[in-house]
Amino acid sequence: ARAGARVVSTWDFGVPANRAAWALLGPGGKALDAVEAGVQIPEADRANHSVGLGGYPDRDGHVTLDASIMDGDGRCGAVACIERIVHPIRVARRVMEVTPHVLLVGEGALQFAREQGFHEQDLLTPEAEKAWHAWMKEAKYRPVPNSENRDYHQSLGLPGGKHNHDTIGMLAVDAHGHLAGACTTSGMAWKLHGRVGDSPIIGAGLYVDGEVGGATSTGVGEEVIRNAGSFLVVELMRQGRSPQEACEEAVRRIVKKRPDGAKELQVGFLALRRDGAVGAFAIQHGFTYAVCDADSQDRVFGSPSVY
């Protein structure tokens, strides 16, 4: 039997994002439209330092964004290292719909966005700039994963540090049984200019197969790319694992490959099977995800973890 519509997303900031997605899903809208609308909430939120506007810059002061979108029928689009556009997810969808390509990067992605009529603006907020200057003073010149950045943020006395802010990955199934997913981030704070994470890489930060389900990830993108994480989760579900078992196996594979047991790293996976079943698993304690359906719009769950 087909379950009703449902949308899930990473972290507690997924709650308002899910609500925006639900405004379309609830009345019978398409999963693809819902996820595109939902992730635009954190993209436009200045107080969120790991997605879109207000995101922390790279070590040279550029805010560069990564985003991808995928439909259950296999269509997908993405942009990586794009600057000056508040809603990279909308550009990703245009890449999917009006070009023969899947992924546009950097200057070329910005040029395409301009041609498509997107408005440009400076994405570096005074607050993010202040954090960048403070980081430069410490002169470590070392990128920090967003999941570790919380304490750092708090130590600077900046607001927002108490929350688990990171990439938003969102997966939805609509009332017609169609699946879609979206993923968007400003990536790792203080990263090298040009660094691309997992979020815009189809199969790493996001993967959706309408016959099976979808998966998305958050945390240190390099580890997710190395292990083709979201594709792995979906393939494991195809082979019969539950969404929970699939997320756990993908996390354990990352941990197993690290000589230090990934004690310092955070990676979390979130999966939605086509029947609406949800799973999540992370390396570190503290990963949360939000679930929204006809029964309840703003539930947040703590994911189980290795540590």
Residues in contact with ligand SD4 by the rule CB under 6 A: 66, 145-147, 166-167, 185, 187-188, 197-199, 218-221
Give dist(CA 91, CA 69) in Å, integer.
10
- The Cβ of residue 216 has, within 10 Å, a number of other Cβ atoms equal to 35
- When the beta carbons of 179 and 188 are compared against ligand SD4, the nearer one is 188
Smallest distance, ligand SD4 to C-beta of residue 28, A: 32
DSSP 192: P
Smallest distance, ligand SD4 to C-beta of residue 196, A: 8
H or E element that contains 289? strand 288-293
- When the beta carbons of 26 and 268 are compared against ligand SD4, the nearer one is 268
- When the beta carbons of 66 and 209 are compared against ligand SD4, the nearer one is 66
Which residues are designated catalytic? 167
Smallest distance, ligand SD4 to C-beta of residue 227, A: 13
- When the beta carbons of 175 and 220 are compared against ligand SD4, the nearer one is 220
- The Cβ of residue 290 has, within 10 Å, a number of other Cβ atoms equal to 25
Contact 219, 145 (CB under 8 A): yes
- The Cβ of residue 178 has, within 10 Å, a number of other Cβ atoms equal to 18
Contact 39, 89 (CB under 8 A): yes
Contact 9, 37 (CB under 8 A): no
H or E element that contains 67? strand 65-71
Give dist(CA 75, CA 96) in Å, integer.
7
What is the four-CA torsion angle of 18, 23, 26, 31, rounded to 10 degrees? -70
Give dist(CA 78, CA 70) in Å, integer.
9
- When the beta carbons of 24 and 67 are compared against ligand SD4, the nearer one is 67
Smallest distance, ligand SD4 to C-beta of residue 10, A: 9
- When the beta carbons of 57 and 145 are compared against ligand SD4, the nearer one is 145
Q: Give the CA diameter of the chain.
A: 58
H or E element that contains 219? strand 213-219
Smallest distance, ligand SD4 to C-beta of residue 149, A: 8
Give dist(CA 261, CA 263) in Å, integer.
5
Give dist(CA 45, CA 163) in Å, integer.
14
Smallest distance, ligand SD4 to C-beta of residue 267, A: 8
